Structure formats: structure tokens, C-alpha cells
Structure 1
Amino acid sequence: MAPKRAHPISNTALAAAINQAGWTHAAVARHVNDISAENGVRLYYDRSTIGHWLTGTIPRPEGICAAVEAFRRRLHNPGLTPAGLGWPDVPTVPGPTDDPWQGDPVARLTALGEDDMLDRRTMLTASAFSLAGYTVPARRPLISSPRAGAREAGTGDVARIRATTRHFGELEDLYGGGHARRSVAAYLVHDVAPLLHGTIGRARPDLFRATAELVYLAAYMAMDDGVNGLAMRYYIQAVRLADEAGDRTLRATALRSMAVQARQLGHNREALALADAAASSLDSRGPQRTLAWITGMRAEAHAGVADRRDALALLRRAEAQLERADSLPETEWTGNYRRESFEHQSGLVLTQLGDHAAAARHYTASMSTRRPIERRTRALIGLRAAHAHLLAGDVDQAAATVLDLGADVQSISSARVRHEVRQIRAGWQPYRSSAHVAAADRVIANN
């Protein structure tokens, strides 16, 4: 039942949308808060907030942005605008014509990098997450072309971009996506993007390939830092740059990581479509190690839609592909799927299928064989192992796993790590009287 109101409804467009959605005021607030969180911004709206909106209060731009996306999804209306909810248009709310798959990708990259150097509240409206971005169109040639007066890049520029990407990638795995993310954006905007308009000839494919790798890293860092709208748009431009370079493997890599993002945000059907699109990009003709990496993601996506049989069959196929794979050079850091990666993937699949004890064993096997430089990865997987132990009823082992992570968790800037911490701390609330649990809780309390 709708709450009694002291003031009459003046925003009839919003009232009509709420009625069409079949939501209570509390449900509207919950969905808006959830969508803002997808973009790394916390909003704390409640049912009374929605009541104020109905009587004429206009939300802040980030609230408008999140509300429009919530109703777009619920009403299956990707063309909905703020005006359709009775609010003034906010220029930065992505609209039906703001398709990140269209337009000059170099200009989009520059704008994304500049957004990335602003604060998160600005990015919620400038680069908001929208499910529409997960719809992958047919490949199109880029429209960018060399500009008069631009400096042409050569093999030295390509080598420098790749070396810088590796350096930032190592920092990301040591300290998390929130560390140095804006430095990556600044490098992309000021040093790399200007070269894309000035290069022709032999160096052009390698330049676009190297830039796609850097953009892929920027996307991964933004996703790890919880800024998912920005991450999605980076991933899309990585796909487009890979297409320009003619690199099917890199295209598949970016689509596969978009599937990871969709799965982590709970958009399971979109994750499945993206994982299948990644596989279709290679059509079984890529390196076996990369094929295994993508097959493992397909397994996870099928588990997300409760398709147990296909999930487990794909997981077995991924393991077989991995066993046949030749080693990739260490410089090939995208798609370099190893046994420890497969163990992590197995844990994710089994978590989705509800087999938490088995998932914990796979997470532990993955965590225990990680290299020292993979500190963020080890912390993330270790926390997932601890949560799996907790869900399986083994509270002491969950606490022991957290204690084993030591101070690593506290030194990492990662929204995904913080999410795992929140889940564990909520899960072991009933066991806080245990000295073992209390000691483990102190380790992660300040993350």
C-alpha cells in the first residue's frame, strides 16, 4: 500500500512509471541505490525520498541518472529520458543516441580519460553504466583517419606503450585498480590517443593493438575500483581498437572481460551473451590457452543462469583445452590462463551452483600458487575462499584463511576486495564471540 501523503502528486510522469513498473516506493529507492553502486557511488535513498520526488523535488544529477537507468531496465525502454520521468534533461545522462559503439573511438577515448581524471560523482553522470552497452553490434570499420600535422608513431612508440602498460599492470596487481588509475588515464589522454590520428603504414596495426591493450587495462582497473560505467565504455573502445588492428584474440579478450563484469554485477543473461560473443570472435581458432580462458568464462556464465549441466561440461572442456595449451610468453599478459586461474574459475562456477565446500577447495588451490606480484589477486581469491568456507559452515577455517592474508588486504585499493570483506563481516556476525573470528575481523575491519 502506498504511504499516506501530506502533499498531492505533482510529478504524474514519475507516478505513471512507478505504476507501470509495479514497484513500491521502497523498491524504486532500492533499485536506484543499486544502480548508483554499479558506478562506484553510494546513494542512500529510501521510500520517503521517492515520495518527495512525486511531490516535485528534483533529484541530484546522479540520482536522475540512476533512476532513468533503473526504469529503462524495468520497462524495457532504452529510449527513456529524464523528461519521461518528469524531470529536466541532464545533458550527461546517456541517451539512446549516446551509443559507445558508434562515433570516433579516439575522441571517445580522450573523453573517457578526461572523465577518469575527475571525481567519481562526476563520472556517474558522464560515464554511467547502462545495460544497453552490453549489446555488441556487428563489426564496423573505424571512422578515425590521420590528421594533418599529427605526429606519426613508429615502432619505438609502440614499444614504449607496451612497456608502460606492463608497468601499470604490475602496479594494479600489487595494489588494486584504485591505485594509479588516473595516471593511466592521463597517459592515455596526453601521450597515446594523439598518436592514433597521425599514424599510417606498417606501424598502424601495432599502434592500435598496443593502445587496445592499454585501454583494456584501464577498463580492468576501473572495474576493480567499482567504476563500472567507465569500465564498460573503456572495454567497448578496446574491442573497437582491436578490430582496427585486426586482432581477433584481443577482441575476444575484451568481450570476455565484459562478461566477467556483467556476471559480477548480477546481469547473468548479458554475461552469457558476452561470453558467447567472445567465443564466436575466435571461432575455435585462437591459442588453446586463450580458448580455455574464454570457455571457463562461458562455464561461469552458464552457472549464473542455473544451467548446471552445461556449466560443468564447459568447465571440463576448459581444463582439457588448458592441458593442450602451449605456454605463452610472459609479455602476453592478456589471456595468459594458467592452472591457478582455472582453479579460481572452478571456484566461481561452483559458488554459483551452491557447492561452497568444493568452491573453497578450488579457491584455496588458486590462492596458494599465486606469485608474489599477484597480491591483489591473492587477496581477492583468499577472501572468496574464506566466504565459501563460511557459507559451507566452517567458520574456523574462514577465520584462519583471513588471518593468513595478513596485512595484504589493508594495502590494496579495490572495490571488489572491499565487497568480499563486507560479505564476510556480515556473514560471521553470529560468531563474533569467538576469539578466532574476532582476531580475523580485526585484520579486515578497516578495509
Structure 2
Amino acid sequence: MDPSRRAVLGGAAGLFPTALTIPGYAEAADRFDSFTRNPRARIGHAEVTAVTTMTTRLIGMDDQFGGRHARPMAAAFLVNTVAPYLNAAAPPDVTRAMLSAAADHVYLTGWMAMDEREDGLAQRYFVKALELAAGAQDQPRYRRVLRGMSVHSIDQGHIALAVRTANAAAQILPKADPRFAAFLSGQQAHVAAASGDKAGALASMSRAEAAVERAEQEGDNTFGSYTPSALRYHISEVRAHLGDLSGSIREMEQAHRMRATGLRRTRIRYNALLAERKLHAGRLEEACHSWHAVLDEYPYVQSGRCDDRFTAMVSALRPHRNNTGARLVLDRAREIQSGLRLDPPG
């Protein structure tokens, strides 16, 4: 058993909980169960820095190599280092900082579980991250986790839950920096479009675009991960859900051109989505070109979400196997699958 389930989550996870009870901020703060303090162990800001540094490094490994590679390290660090630090005595400011750092690490571990397609486990991590963030009185982190839960929910097709968590996250704090506001509004636009709320989707997308433009003008990189590339991805998703296939393809291509070079798993998934939409638009040759780009990198990641896109590619191209380009992609896929001895996606 993954040790983090026992030490932090308190039990094994089941199926994706569509009726999951998500605590509000005040409720999560009230529910937060303080760890029993060990008077012989003390921590300071150096230990907080150690946790944040390790989490940052694992973020890079997660996207470069996939959740199956990275989560065992994250789980071991959570059990062996983070949990004892949460038990240690510390001044109030250090305790709050450690709770925030732990919330980030637990959230990341949940994101890795999601990437593995351990979806029930991922949700349990996310709820624990909410409780840690609320215990730290850290509303921005609490909202970030809610937004991540929305991403997970829409990825699983649970649209109502995705809308609920995105809207809860987007109750933005008055002093939220513009890039963080865009980060929340972009997801809100995506789920609104998926639910058929065109007016809500366009309004949220407009807010996200304005916020990113303001952040770029001000040089605000406080929440630098929500880049113009990420914005273009969300616009692509909104257009796809609203029936604008050509616009969705155009926006995804622009997002790809703007994307940072190090994000391998992200490139695989977005190239695959781009290929699927090009095929749907009747652009088979272009779709095959995008799928070749997927296959160039796919063997280097261990990711359930990338496996899903690989399986979707094979299924989509089988009806076109008499086409030379499609056959070349399928032949490459067969060779890669044989070499990797992939387990069938669950």
C-alpha cells in the first residue's frame, strides 16, 4: 500500500466520489485536526524551505516523466519528512507556513495520483490539501486546490462537480493578483462552456484575457504558471465546447507555439488533443503529423492520462488504416506499445 494513504489520508481510496462533500473554507478550518505536537522536535523556517524546495523539484519531475515516476518519491517525502514536521513544535508563523507548504505538497501528490488514474485517491489528497490550507488560514492555496479539483472533475466527465468547484474557487479575494485571477477565471470559462453556459463561458474568458493582459503589462509574475499559452489553451477548450472546431484548433496551435519547452507531458496531451480535433475536422494528414510529435515523446513518460490519449489515437486511426500516413502512425504506435509492454488502460 502507498504509505501516504495510511499516514496522511487515513485509509484506502475507492472509486471517484461523484457525491464528494467538499468543505467550505470556514468548515475546513473548523474541521482541521491539529497534529499532536512532539515537544522534543522543533522546526523553523529552514524546514519550511526544505519542503517548498522539494515540492518545486517534484513539480518539474512530474511533468517531465509522469506521475507514476514521481509520486513514489512525493509520497515517501510526505510520510518521512512532511508529517513529522507537522508534528513538531514551532512558533505560530512557522506552523502556518509549514501547513501551507504541506498543502502544496499534498496537492501535488494528488495531482500525480490523478495523472496515474488513481482518481479516488487523488480526490482524497485534494480534500486533505484543502484542510491543510484552511488550517494555515491560506485562502489563495485553498482556492488553488478547488480549481485543481475542478480540472480533475471535468477530466472525468463530472461536469456539475467541475462547475461547482470552479465557481467556488473563483470567489476571488479582493487583492488577488491578476494572473491568479486569470488562472481561476480560465477554468471557470472552460467548465461553463462544457455545461452549455455560453454566456457564462464568454464572460469568464473575457475576465481571464483582461487579467492576463494586465499581468503582462505590469510584469506581474506572482503566479507565473498561468501564462499566455495557458490562456490560449483555455480559449481553445471553450471554443471546442461551443462548437467552433476551427477556432479551437487555431488557439491550440498558438498555445503550443507559446508553450515552455520543458513541459513534456503537457506537450504530449495537448498535441494529442490537437490531432484529435484536426481529424474531426477532416484534416487527416495534419492530424498524423501531430500524432507523430506525440509518439516522439510518449515513451519517456509514465502517465495514465497520456495512456488515455494514446489509446484514443489508436482507436481514431483504425478506420483510416488504409491511408499511408495513418498506417505509419499505427505502425509506430504498435512498435512503441510492444517495446514498453504497456498495461491496458484501466
Deviation at residue 352 of structure 1 after TM alignment: 2.1
1:383-394 paired onto structure 2 within 5 Å: 383-394=272-283
1:262-281 paired onto structure 2 within 5 Å: 262-280=153-171
Equivalent position SS for 1:314: helix
Aligned residue number for residue 305 of structure 1: 195
Q: Which has the larger radius of gyration?
A: 1
Aligned residue number for residue 91 of structure 1: none
Distance 1:335 1:242, change over 3 A: farther
Equivalent position SS for 2:47: helix
Aligned residue number for residue 414 of structure 1: 303
Aligned residue number for residue 191 of structure 1: 81
Equivalent position SS for 1:129: coil
1:245-264 paired onto structure 2 within 5 Å: 245-264=136-155
Distance 1:148 1:161, change over 3 A: closer
**1:402–1:443 contact (8 Å) kept in structure 2:** no
Distance 1:246 1:156, change over 3 A: same
**2:96–2:135 contact (8 Å) kept in structure 1:** yes
1:49-88 paired onto structure 2 within 5 Å: none
Residue among 8, 12, 20 paired with 1:133: 20
How far apart are the structure 1 equivalents of 2:330 and 2:174? 46
> Which one has a larger percent helix, Structure 1 or Structure 2?
2
Deviation at residue 369 of structure 1 after TM alignment: 2.4
- Which string of whole-angstrom CA distances, capped at 9 and with x for unpartnered residues, describes residues 272-322 of structure 1? 110011012x34431110110110111111111111222122112211111
How far apart are the structure 2 equivalents of 1:391 and 1:186? 43
How far apart are the structure 1 equivalents of 2:219 and 2:324? 45
1:15-164 paired onto structure 2 within 5 Å: 110-112=7-9, 123=12, 126-137=13-24, 138-141=27-30, 142-164=32-54
**1:109–1:193 contact (8 Å) kept in structure 2:** no
How far apart are the structure 2 equivalents of 1:157 and 1:181? 21
**2:70–2:112 contact (8 Å) kept in structure 1:** no
**2:39–2:89 contact (8 Å) kept in structure 1:** no
Larger RCO of the pair (alpha carbons < 8 Å, separation 6+): 2
**2:232–2:251 contact (8 Å) kept in structure 1:** yes
Equivalent position SS for 2:305: helix
Equivalent position SS for 1:179: helix
Uncovered stretches (5+) of structure 2, i.e. residues with no partner = none
| Residues 1:210 and 2:101 aligned together | yes
Distance 1:213 1:224, change over 3 A: same
Equivalent position SS for 1:354: coil
Runs of 4+ with >4 A deviation? 326-329
The one-letter code of the counterpart of 1:147 is: R
How far apart are the structure 2 equivalents of 1:150 and 1:133? 38
**1:252–1:279 contact (8 Å) kept in structure 2:** yes
How far apart are the structure 1 equivalents of 2:166 and 2:259? 25
Aligned residue number for residue 269 of structure 2: 380
Residue among 410, 431, 440 paired with 2:320: 431
How far apart are the structure 2 equivalents of 1:155 and 1:211? 13
**2:63–2:266 contact (8 Å) kept in structure 1:** yes
**2:170–2:185 contact (8 Å) kept in structure 1:** yes
Equivalent position SS for 1:151: strand
Equivalent position SS for 1:131: coil
Deviation at residue 402 of structure 1 after TM alignment: 1.3
Equivalent position SS for 1:144: coil
Deviation at residue 109 of structure 1 after TM alignment: 7.4
How far apart are the structure 2 equivalents of 1:371 and 1:313? 27
Aligned length, in residue pairs: 327
Deviation at residue 410 of structure 1 after TM alignment: 1.8
**TM-score scaled to structure 2, two decimals?**
0.88
How far apart are the structure 2 equivalents of 1:315 and 1:171? 30
1:329-340 paired onto structure 2 within 5 Å: 336-340=225-229
How far apart are the structure 2 equivalents of 1:150 and 1:205? 19
